[in-house]
Amino acid sequence: MRILGLIGGTSWHATMAYYKLINEGVGKHIGTQANPELIICSINIEIMREQNLEKIRAKYFEVSERLIGAGAEGILICANTPHMVYDYVQPKISVPILHIAEATGKEATRLGLKKLGLLGNRPTMTGTFIPGYLKTHFGIETMIPEDQYLSEAHRYVSEELTRGKFTAAARAFFLHQIDLLRERGADGIILGCTELPLLIDAGKVGLPTLPTTDLHARMAIDFIMG
């Protein structure tokens, strides 16, 4: 098995979900008498809240190098938003970063989805690191909630979900956004905040959902197992 380095902490709730999913998934291959070697560095989420891109890039590069020095043969970032550093960090390190949009794009292609609604915080929805990757590598279009809803979506993610609060109001808000995205032509929904799958029951959505945490964890399992 290959050794995977995990960069977590943004948020630690999502990091716990990743750790559980990866260990459970690898266990299905090797049995429960063993487990994969994982190296975890959990950073302080405040660096993301500062929204200083130069500082964020430097931190993720530093942590990636630290994990590689400890023996990691690949890097997995346990969140969506920090993938904004991918184009900066990946060329500077000697091991692959497993991109969350690669996992998402492969599943969307398998399901035959071509136009996806994207939910998450403001940087994830308005940035190019997920929509651009999906367009370039898979020819998949993305759409996001209308402008008047972006601040509320960001607030729910940053002030509630990443702090471990999963309220009925947040659930109702995001289910309403899914309905609106469907009306605008979305044939699937990216749950692009690693806490969203913890909030929303995919069975109640009415559209195929792409829970990035689960898909990314599957990608990690495939990497570990070679």
pLDDT the model gives residue 194: 78
Q: Are 83 and 120 in contact (CB under 8 A)?
A: no
Band (pLDDT 50/70/90 cuts) for residue 163 is confident
Q: Are 197 and 191 in contact (CB under 8 A)?
A: yes
Mean pLDDT of the chain: 94
Band (pLDDT 50/70/90 cuts) for residue 205 is confident
- Number of C-beta neighbours around residue 55 at 10 A: 12
Q: Are 59 and 82 in contact (CB under 8 A)?
A: no
pLDDT at 18 over 90: yes
- φ, ψ for residue 89, nearest 5 deg: -80, -45
Residues 6+ apart with CB under 8 A from 1: 26, 30, 36, 37, 224, 225, 226
- Percentages helix, strand, coil for the chain (3-state, rounded to 5) are 60, 15, 30
Structure tokens at 226: 């070679």
Bridge partners (DSSP) of residue 40 are 6
**What is the pTM for the complete model shown?**
0.90
- φ, ψ for residue 45, nearest 5 deg: -60, -20
Residue position matching structure tokens 């190019």: 128
Q: Report the share of the chain in percent with pLDDT over 90.
A: 79
In three-state secondary structure terms, 142 is strand
Could you tell me the domains of the chain? Answer: 4-99+215-225 (3.40.50.1860), 101-212 (3.40.50.1860)
pLDDT the model gives residue 24: 96
